[in-house]
Amino acid sequence: MFLGEHRHVLDEKGRLTIPARFREELGSPFILTRGLDGSLFAYPLGAWRTLERRLRSLPFTRKEVRAFTRLLFAGAVEVEPDRQGRINIPPNLAAYAGLTKNVVVVGVSARVEIWDEARWEAYVAEGEAKYTDLAESLIDLDLDEGWEDSGADIP
């Protein structure tokens, strides 16, 4: 599971150092693609294959399914960190995410997200103002289900 937020600087060649903890779980190579909300998503190969199977099961006759899968897969590349743990971010993906010099690498459960620092800070500021409302809106998803079997208390 990916957790936490790490701040990094793109080097003069546009390379990004992936935090060591994330590199281990991402494996090598891993998939980098367009994310949502102006970020990039990085997936271990196994998680990417699971996502691909789920998307393949959706009806391709639906316009929004075709559009989303085209953009997701067209932007996807296999990346392999070098010995220092750096990856090259393709120019089209860097432009999509608006990456400048300062970058935030965020662990989000089964994936890693890569954000331009200014965009991330704006997203967090907006999200924190709505955090309680967001949590309450998720009640319909039955997030409580399964906690009783885990031995953990519901937070």
User: Over the stretch 75-116, which tens digit does the pLDDT of each residue have?
Assistant: 999 999 999 999 999 999 999 999 999 999 999 989 999 999
133 pLDDT tier (thresholds 50, 70, 90)? confident
Structure tokens at 136: 């309450």
**At 58, phi and psi to the nearest 5?**
-75, 150
> Of all helices (H) and strands (E), which one includes residue 115?
strand 111-116
Q: pLDDT tens for residues 27-39?
A: 999 999 999 999 9
**Residue 31: closest CA among 16, 10, 17, 49:** 49
The CA distances from residue 72 to 31, 68, 110, in Å, are 11, 6, 17
23 pLDDT tier (thresholds 50, 70, 90)? very high
**At 51, phi and psi to the nearest 5?**
-60, -45
Domain ranges for the chain: 5-140
Angstrom distance (rounded) from CA 108 to CA 1: 8
Domain at 5-140, CATH homologous superfamily: Transcriptional regulator MraZ domain (3.40.1550.20)
**Residue 99: closest CA among 117, 86, 83:** 117
pLDDT at 144 exceeding the cut of 60:
no
In terms of Cβ atoms closer than 10 Å to its own Cβ (0-12, 13-18, 19+), residue 46 is exposed
Q: pLDDT tens for residues 8-18?
A: 999 989 899 99
